[in-house]
Amino acid sequence: MASVERSIDWFRDAGRPHRDDRALLASVLEGLRQHPKRISPVWFYDERGSCLFDEICELPEYYVTRTELAILQRHLPEMAARIRSHACVIEPGSGTGLKTKLLLEALDRPSAYVPVDVACEHLEAAAARLRSEHPHICVHPVCADFTMPFEVPDTERFARRAIFFPGSTIGNFDRHEAVRLLARLRHLAPGGGMLIGFDMVKPAGVLVPAYDDAAGVTAAFNLNALEHLNRRLGTDFDPAGFRHRAVWNPVASRIEMHLVSTRAQMVRIAGRDIHFAAGETIHTENSYKYTTERFASLAEVAGWKICRCWTDARGFYSLQLLE
């Protein structure tokens, strides 16, 4: 999303320096002045949001993680052989790194692992877990916004790099942003490859419950963005004055998540009052769903060549190796 474009070093967790909260406030304010109002989905991911996302991955309605894990488990030997020995694996938006553990175990002597995430506490905890389970792998966590330039540790300067980009995170970007991101990742791994996962178009009856589960975990995840804003920027959102909404937009081929204001209300941000009418929404996330053809065209425009595709029996999800 457009607002993700700004540097978000200030997403470093409590206790660490916040470099430029004013820039952050300005970008949130700008989004809330648009019609419809919007905020960046990076606001989901403080420590609580990262834990809620892990819970979402276990939900019966959220087929995404289960399906991707099943494809990985079935085809990892072939994927690992194609990635080749001694790779330095870079993972944008690494989260808990459940799938990475499987990939690293399948790879032949990976030289290093560089997880990159805005949720710094969660990132450090996942890196510490991986180090203790696999002490022979050098793990270099990077707390950064992967849509902005970030440094891969100097020690890995000459390593053969492979990007691992699972979780359908690419789906959070519109076509223009996705092309730009994929092109940037290509420059990060010159001569290397990228194993990327994306979600496929399917009936709304399957898609909508995956983003609006019966237990209300996705609702809590969406509403947590307001708590995160309050804590981080001193806004005074009342999460009880909003409710979660997930809709399938067939024209744009995306699930949209919104927070709907349940009443007319005013929210104070950066010394200004932002008015919400009853029923007015904040657009918090898009999750684009692809056909094979549409993803191929995206990858091609970004300068990647598709080498191999793996999918599940229902054609719900695709993992692809790009070079």
Nearest approach, Cβ of residue 146 and ligand SAM (Å): 4
Nearest approach, Cβ of residue 303 and ligand SAM (Å): 21
The residue whose two tokens read 């877990």 is 129
The stretch among 23-31, 145-153, 297-305, 315-323 that binds ligand SAM (CB under 6 A) is 145-153
99 lines the binding site for ligand SAM (CB under 6 A): yes
The residue whose two tokens read 């092109």 is 183
110 lines the binding site for ligand SAM (CB under 6 A): no
Instruction: Give the DSSP letter of residue 38.
Output: E
Distances (CA, A) of 112 to 70, 128, 152, 197: 25, 14, 11, 21
The residue whose two tokens read 């997403």 is 11
Binding mask 32-71 for ligand SAM (x = CB under 6 A): ----------x--x----x--x------------------
Q: Which is nearer to ligand SAM, 169 or 261 (CB)?
A: 169
Nearest approach, Cβ of residue 167 and ligand SAM (Å): 2
DSSP line for 209-273: HHTS-TT-HHHHHHHHHHHHHHHHH-----GGGEEEEEEEETTTTEEEEEEEESS-EEEEETTEE
Site for ligand SAM in 162-221 (CB under 6 A): 166-167, 169
H/E stretch holding 23 = helix 21-32
CA neighbor of 196 nearest in space, from 161, 163, 150, 147: 163
Q: Which is nearer to ligand SAM, 261 or 287 (CB)?
A: 287
The binder of ligand SAM chosen from 46, 61, 145, 213 (CB under 6 A) = 145
Q: Which is nearer to ligand SAM, 176 or 275 (CB)?
A: 176
Interface residues with ligand SAM (CB under 6 A) are: 4, 42, 45, 50, 53, 93-95, 99, 116-119, 145-147, 166-167, 169
